[in-house]
């Protein structure tokens, strides 16, 4: 079975995500629109989402399924399987109607790429975008290690999925070089990096928020245990200058209930404001407007060691420095003078840096100025053109 797709530049994108709050998929979808492509996007549905809507030129199709959040690996896999089956049929129906030139599938999981089976048989090109290496992510989340059968099965499905795709993309060089190529043995030539940098039009450079007697930190995004918020709360609990610091936390995720409990039991209610919800991406910059330092904690594991947190780059795009940890990815891009660093497993290390900043406001000013200098190296506007070029190349090869 084969049929030449229509001549219109059309892309179908798929992701197990809530479209309005997922920065990478929004950036790529809108980049494709700006490159002259017609873009449909299949995603999950939140409570108030209509079945279909047009968002900044992207037709978003919300399937009747919500994201599973919890601690059970079986429930995760069943949720993924349900979404896969829904997408498999929806993709086939849409393709028979529109004849997409490209189907761009975002992981996790990697095997969603097989939703594009019919389009591929009919001549469409398939892109697999690996945001997070799934074997390492699940080994970290469920503490199963990298030697067991489960890890090997996930590695097998990743390799099979990558071989099915015509183009593999990933989020930055350390994930490509250290994980996908060196550890997982994927073909380096088949992988292109479209760096997961901040949208500089959405996060424009602004005047640094001065130290006005209070250090104002912010953390936004998924609330997960591996993101290091436990030790951050322990650090705050021992602060000497509690009256001179505030922390705004914005997001939702599996660790939300534990975080709320820690805030209460550690007596941090006057310091930590936990806004337990996800906002549309375009609302985030305004919610960061009164902050002068990004908080980017992590617990180092097989997956977080290669994480380059997007929030760090979004703060940087605003000209706001970050307080973070050293891992392979952050260390690849940032030196000692670029960010404020602390030891991830030592709450007292984080506490010491915070106390130092409060007692020496000029230090914050130094890192604010450094952020402005660094910003130009980490802009989505550069990566956007690379992505459009890949879509054009794949379109011309059909």
- Distance separating alpha carbons of residues 50 and 63, to the nearest angstrom: 9
pLDDT of residue 142: 66
Q: Is position 14 within any domain?
A: yes
Co-location of 310 and 165 in the same domain = no
pLDDT of residue 1: 47
CB 33 within 8 A of CB 60: no
- How much of the chain, in percent, has pLDDT values that exceed 90? 81
Q: Is position 202 within any domain?
A: no
Co-location of 152 and 221 in the same domain = no
Band of residue 2 on the pLDDT scale cut at 50, 70, 90: very low
Judge whether residue 4 has pLDDT over 60.
no
CA atoms in the 13 A half-sphere facing the CB of 41? 30
pLDDT of residue 88: 97
- Token duo for residue 289: 């407007």
Co-location of 258 and 162 in the same domain = no
CB 43 within 8 A of CB 63: yes
Judge whether residue 166 has pLDDT over 80.
yes
Report residue 357: phi and psi, to 5°.
-65, -40
Cis previous bond, 109, omega within 30: yes
Distance from CA of residue 253 to its chain's centroid?
A: 13
Judge whether residue 144 has pLDDT over 70.
no
What is the phi-psi region of residue 319: left when phi exceeds 0, alpha when psi lies from -120 to 50, beta otherwise? left
Co-location of 249 and 147 in the same domain = no
Mean pLDDT of 139-163: 82
User: Whole-prediction pTM value?
Assistant: 0.86
The SS3 of residue 329 is helix
Provide the number of structural domains found in the chain: 2
Q: Is position 345 within any domain?
A: yes
Q: Is position 1 within any domain?
A: no
DSSP 181-226: ITTT---GGGEEE----B-TTTS--------SSSEEEEEES---GG
Co-location of 24 and 161 in the same domain = yes
pLDDT tens by residue, 318-368: 999 999 999 999 999 999 999 999 999 999 999 999 999 999 999 999 999
Mean pLDDT of 176-199: 94
Co-location of 148 and 269 in the same domain = no
Cα–Cα nearest to 300, from 239, 356, 231, 355:
231
Question: How high does pLDDT run on average in the chain?
Answer: 92
pLDDT of residue 110: 94
Band of residue 138 on the pLDDT scale cut at 50, 70, 90: confident
Q: Count how many residues are written for the chain.
A: 398
- Distance separating alpha carbons of residues 221 and 21, to the nearest angstrom: 9
Co-location of 178 and 267 in the same domain = no
Band of residue 98 on the pLDDT scale cut at 50, 70, 90: very high
Residue 84 maps to which CATH number? 3.40.50.2000
Co-location of 22 and 142 in the same domain = yes
* Best-predicted range by mean pLDDT (5-9, 101-105, 175-179): 101-105
CB 26 within 8 A of CB 2: no
Judge whether residue 69 has pLDDT over 90.
no
Cα–Cα nearest to 18, from 49, 53, 52, 44:
44
Mean pLDDT of 225-242: 94
Q: Is position 5 within any domain?
A: no
pLDDT of residue 134: 85
Helices (H) and strands (E) in the chain, counts: 14, 14
pLDDT of residue 71: 62
Band of residue 143 on the pLDDT scale cut at 50, 70, 90: low
Judge whether residue 75 has pLDDT over 90.
no
Co-location of 146 and 272 in the same domain = no
Co-location of 177 and 28 in the same domain = yes
Co-location of 152 and 220 in the same domain = no
Q: Is position 208 within any domain?
A: no
pLDDT of residue 68: 75
Judge whether residue 108 has pLDDT over 90.
no
Residue 313 domain boundaries: 215-378
Judge whether residue 92 has pLDDT over 50.
yes
Q: Is position 209 within any domain?
A: no
Co-location of 183 and 312 in the same domain = no
pLDDT tens by residue, 119-135: 999 999 999 999 989 88
Q: Is position 207 within any domain?
A: no
Cα–Cα nearest to 66, from 46, 80, 86:
46
């Amino acid at each position: 079975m084969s049929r030449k797709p229509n001549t219109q530049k059309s892309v179908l994108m798929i992701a197990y995500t809530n479209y309005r709050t997922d920065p990478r998929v929004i950036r790529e979808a809108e980049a494709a629109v700006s490159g002259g492509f017609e873009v449909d996007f299949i995603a999950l549905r939140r409570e108030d989402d209509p079945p279909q809507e047009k968002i900044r030129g992207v037709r978003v199709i919300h399937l009747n399924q919500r994201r599973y959040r919890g601690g059970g690996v079986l429930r995760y896999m069943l949720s993924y399987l349900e979404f896969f089956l829904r997408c498999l049929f929806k993709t086939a129906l849409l393709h028979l109607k529109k004849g997409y030139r490209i189907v761009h599938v975002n992981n996790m999981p990697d095997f969603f790429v097989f939703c594009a089976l019919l389009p591929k048989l009919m001549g469409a090109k398939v892109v697999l975008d690996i945001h997070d290496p799934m074997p390492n992510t699940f080994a970290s989340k469920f503490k199963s290690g990298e030697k067991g059968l489960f890890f090997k099965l996930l590695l097998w499905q990743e390799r099979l999925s990558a071989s099915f795709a015509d183009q593999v993309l990933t989020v930055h060089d350390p994930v490509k070089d250290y994980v996908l190529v060196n550890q997982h043995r994927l073909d380096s030539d088949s992988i292109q990096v479209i760096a997961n940098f901040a949208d500089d039009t959405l996060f424009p450079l602004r005047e640094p928020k001065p130290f006005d007697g209070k250090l104002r930190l912010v953390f936004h995004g998924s609330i997960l245990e591996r993101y290091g918020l436990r030790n951050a709360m322990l650090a705050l609990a021992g602060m000497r200058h509690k009256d001179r610091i505030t922390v705004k936390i914005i997001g939702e995720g599996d660790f939300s209930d534990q975080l709320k409990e820690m805030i209460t039991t550690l007596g941090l209610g006057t310091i930590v404001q936990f806004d337990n919800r996800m906002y549309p991406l375009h609302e985030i910059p305004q919610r960061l407007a009164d902050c002068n330092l990004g908080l980017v904690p992590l617990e180092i594991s097989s997956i977080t060691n290669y994480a380059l947190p997007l929030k760090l780059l979004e703060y940087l795009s605003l000209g706001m420095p970050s307080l973070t940890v050293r891992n392979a990815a952050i260390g690849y891009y940032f030196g000692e003078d670029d960010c404020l660093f602390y030891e991830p497993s030592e709450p007292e290390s984080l506490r010491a840096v915070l106390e130092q900043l409060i007692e020496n406001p000029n230090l914050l000013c130094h890192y604010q100025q450094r952020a402005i200098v660094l910003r130009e190296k980490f802009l989505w506007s550069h990566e956007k053109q690379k992505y459009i070029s890949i879509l054009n190349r794949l379109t011309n090869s059909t």
